[in-house]
Chains A and B, each alone.
Chain A
Amino acid sequence: GAGVSQSPSNKVTEKGKDVELRCDPISGHTALYWYRQSLGQGLEFLIYFQGNSAPDKSGLPSDRFSAERTGGSVSTLTIQRTQQEDSAVYLCASSQGPNTGELFFGEGSRLTVL
C-alpha cells in the first residue's frame, strides 16, 4: 500500500487477555516507531526500530509489552495479560531515515480493555 497500514483498527478485549497489533510500514522505510495516546494525553513513545540495529525498547511501560519487526518490514506489538490502563490508541509510524526523515503515521489501533 501507499501508506502505513495498521490492524485491527479497533480491538475490544477482556482484562487478562493477550492482544497483537500489526503495523505494515511504507516499503523501503528503515525506521519504525510505536507510540500510544491514552485518553487526554500526548504521544507516548514505546519502541523504535532502525534498520538492523537492536530496537530501542526504553519506552515500553512494562514487561507485558513486546514488539518485533520481521524482515525489516512488518511489526507486531504484543500486550500480554492486558490491563484497563492499556486502553489507548496505538500508533505506528515509519520514516526513510533515523532522524531527518519525516514520520508517516498509520490510522492507529484503538484498544479497549474491559
Chain B
Amino acid sequence: ILNVEQSPQSLHVQEGDSTNFTCSFPSSNFYALHWYRWETAKSPEALFVMTLNGDEKKKGRISATLNTKEGYSYLYIKGSQPEDSATYLCAFPPGGNKLTFGTGTQLKVEL
C-alpha cells in the first residue's frame, strides 16, 4: 500500500447497530494515524491521533485500534445513532510530513 485506503466507501446501518470501518496505510516509517469525522455542511473534527502500535482510543461510543506492523486501523461505533451519520476520514503523514487523507467512509444511520 502506497497511500491511505479506506473501506467500505459507504455504509448504511440501522439505529442501534454496531459498525466498523478500516483504514489501511503503508506500514513502513510510521509516524501517526489520525481519524476525523466530517458532518455535512461542517468542517472535519478530529476524533483520534494514534501513534503507538496496539493503541486503543475511545471517545464515548466510538473507539479505534491501531496495528502499525500490518498497516491498518479500525474505527468502531457501538450502538449507532442518527447523529453519527457523517463521513469518517483517516489521515497519515507519509515520511512524517503533510497529512494525506483517505477518501473516507460515508456512514448513514437510519431510524
Contact = CB atoms under 8 A, between A and B. Distances in A.
Interface of A: 33, 35, 42-43, 45, 48, 50, 56, 91, 93, 98-108
A42 B10 CA distance: 13
A113 B31 CA distance: 39
Interface of B: 31-32, 34, 36, 43-46, 49, 51, 87, 89, 91, 93, 96-104
27 contacts: A33-B98, A42-B87, A42-B89, A42-B103, A43-B89, A43-B101, A45-B98, A45-B99, A45-B101, A48-B97, A50-B97, A56-B97, A56-B98, A93-B44, A98-B93, A98-B96, A99-B32, A99-B93, A99-B99, A100-B31, A100-B51, A101-B49, A103-B36, A103-B44, A103-B91, A104-B46, A105-B44
A93 to B, nearest CB: 8
A35 to B, nearest CB: 8
Contacts of B44: 43, 91, 93, 103, 105
A103 B99 CA distance: 9
B98 A103 contact: no
A98 B34 contact: no
Given A100-B51, A102-B46, A104-B46, 14 more contacts: A42-B102, A42-B104, A43-B89, A45-B100, A56-B97, A56-B98, A98-B93, A98-B96, A99-B31, A99-B32, A101-B49, A103-B99, A105-B43, A105-B44
